[in-house]
């Protein structure tokens, strides 16, 4: 079954996503919607799409469209999902699921009531490097896990809606840092407490933070750390994950093609399939979940867990206190 999928919001990320998935035409029929018909038509022509809409409402009410993929600012995710669900369309919405837990819960219940599939477009969930590292940890190759350490730094610019705390729900961490939370939870589990601090001085003039350092207590007394900066002025982007155990260290770069094991016996490389940024696998999963009438891997529940950690990080930076966490409840 070819899924007629409308790409909604023809911005930067929509272009990068389409660069990676445009040839998945055995599985998808691509349509485009923008508030500006000219933009939608330009994307449609560039990516050999089927059709274009000059408004999101037009796309949502068109009978050809079966699913909508929203690549829009965070403050619009709930309203966008409402629009799709009220017209019976399946929803793929960019990360973060929402700005608050209440918003995320509403988003999930809107999809549940409409009986449509809802998936959050967290592409890091589909990276083979992360899956391989999880498998190696489970096999005990580095012994008992002691720490998961994540360092991610790069020069990014946050302008327009991205500079507004009320529109993003925070700063750079809820936007790009949330990917690393997803990795942390998958490798080490959901934390029961954490402490975080903002990196200062701020380099970007945005309402929210442009860098965070956090330390979390994970199940089994594993320590999790993330140092994330969305504005380090360097050409050398860093994105390094390490999982250290009693018998060695697993390390990888998320978009890399190998996972390394380092022990006292030496270093071993485990190659993984090249999946670029995981977007093709993510789209495949969205389509399969619809065809198979099942909940997608990156469900509202999973995305809300990530959001809860981001929000606990913000609480800790505000209060300068350790924050206790419980997993949020989402009925799906
Ligand atoms: N997974 C990842 O790695 C990744 C990377 C980057 C971004 N993202 C996510 O993708 C989403 C979009 O990010 P982006 O970088 O593509 O942002 P962007 O370049 O600003 O594009 C956002 C698009 O949303 C639409 N939009 C609708 N109402 C809007 C409004 N009131 N103000 C501004 N834009 C509005 C616009 O499309 P039209 O004018 O065509 O309607 C705009 O081009 C966000 O949720 C972001 O977190 C994910």
Whether 194 shows a pLDDT value over 90: the answer reads yes
Backbone φ and ψ of 108, nearest 5°:
-65, -40
pTM over 0.95: yes
Domains in the chain, please, with CATH? Answer: 3-124 (3.40.50.720), 125-277+308-324 (3.30.360.10)
Mean pLDDT of 317-332: 90
Whether 135 shows a pLDDT value over 90: the answer reads yes
- Give the residue, out of 52, 73, 173, 254, with the most ligand 1 atoms within 8 A of its beta carbon, to mutate for a pocket test: 73
The model's pLDDT over 233-255, given as tens digits with 9 standing for 90+, comes to: 988 889 999 999 999 999 999 99
Residue 38 Cα to ligand 1 midpoint, Å, equals: 17
Residues having CB closer than 6 A to ligand 1 are 9-14, 34-36, 39, 71-74, 76, 94-95, 123, 161, 175
Residue whose CA is at the smallest distance from ligand 1 atom 18: 11
The pLDDT, as a whole number, for residue 331 is 67
The pLDDT, as a whole number, for residue 174 is 98
Mean pLDDT of 209-236: 96
Ligand 1 atom with minimal separation from the 168 CA: 47
Ligand 1 atom with minimal separation from the 72 CA: 24
Distant-in-sequence contacts of 312-321, Cβ < 8 A, 24+ apart: 312/191, 312/194, 312/196, 313/173, 313/194, 313/196, 313/212, 313/214, 314/170, 314/173, 314/174, 314/196, 316/194, 316/195, 316/196, 316/197, 316/214, 317/196, 317/197, 317/198, 317/209, 317/212, 320/197, 321/195
- Give the residue, out of 6, 7, 8, 9, with the most ligand 1 atoms within 8 A of its beta carbon, to mutate for a pocket test: 9
Ligand 1 atom with minimal separation from the 123 CA: 1
Whether 329 shows a pLDDT value over 90: the answer reads no
Residue 26 Cα to ligand 1 midpoint, Å, equals: 26
Residue 9 Cα to ligand 1 midpoint, Å, equals: 6
């Amino acid at each position: 079954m070819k899924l007629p999928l409308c790409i909604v919001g023809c911005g930067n990320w929509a272009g990068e996503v389409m660069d990676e998935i445009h040839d998945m035409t055995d599985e998808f029929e691509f349509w485009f919607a923008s508030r500006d018909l000219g933009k939608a038509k330009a994307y449609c022509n560039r990516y050999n799409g089927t059709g274009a809409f000059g408004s999101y409402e037009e796309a949502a009410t068109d009978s050809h469209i079966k699913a909508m993929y929203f690549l829009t600012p965070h403050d619009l995710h709930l309203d966008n999902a409402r629009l799709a669900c009220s017209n019976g369309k399946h929803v793929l919405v960019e990360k973060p699921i929402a700005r608050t837990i209440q918003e995320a819960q509403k988003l999930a219940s809107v999809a549940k009531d409409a009986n449509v599939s809802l998936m959050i477009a967290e592409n890091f969930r589909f990276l083979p490097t992360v899956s391989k590292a999880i498998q190696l940890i489970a096999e005990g190759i580095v012994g008992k896990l002691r720490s998961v350490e994540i360092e991610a730094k790069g020069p990014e610019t946050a302008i327009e809606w991205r500079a507004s705390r009320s529109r993003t729900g925070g700063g750079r961490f809820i936007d790009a840092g949330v990917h690393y939370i997803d990795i942390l939870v998958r490798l080490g589990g959901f934390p029961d407490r954490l402490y975080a601090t903002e990196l200062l001085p701020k380099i970007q003039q945005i309402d929210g933070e442009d860098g965070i350092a956090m330390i979390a207590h994970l199940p089994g007394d594993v320590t999790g750390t993330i140092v994330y900066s969305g504005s380090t002025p360097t050409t050398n982007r860093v994105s390094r994950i390490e999982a250290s155990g009693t018998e060695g260290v697993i390390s990888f770069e998320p978009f890399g093609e190998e996972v390394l094991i380092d022990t006292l016996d030496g270093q071993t490389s485990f190659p993984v399939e090249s999946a670029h940024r995981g977007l093709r696998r993510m789209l495949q999963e969205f389509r399969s979940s619809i065809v198979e009438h099942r909940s997608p891997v990156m469900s509202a529940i999973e995305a809300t867990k990530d959001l809860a950690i981001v929000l606990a990080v913000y609480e800790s930076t505000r209060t300068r206190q350790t924050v206790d966490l419980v997993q949020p409840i989402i009925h799906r």
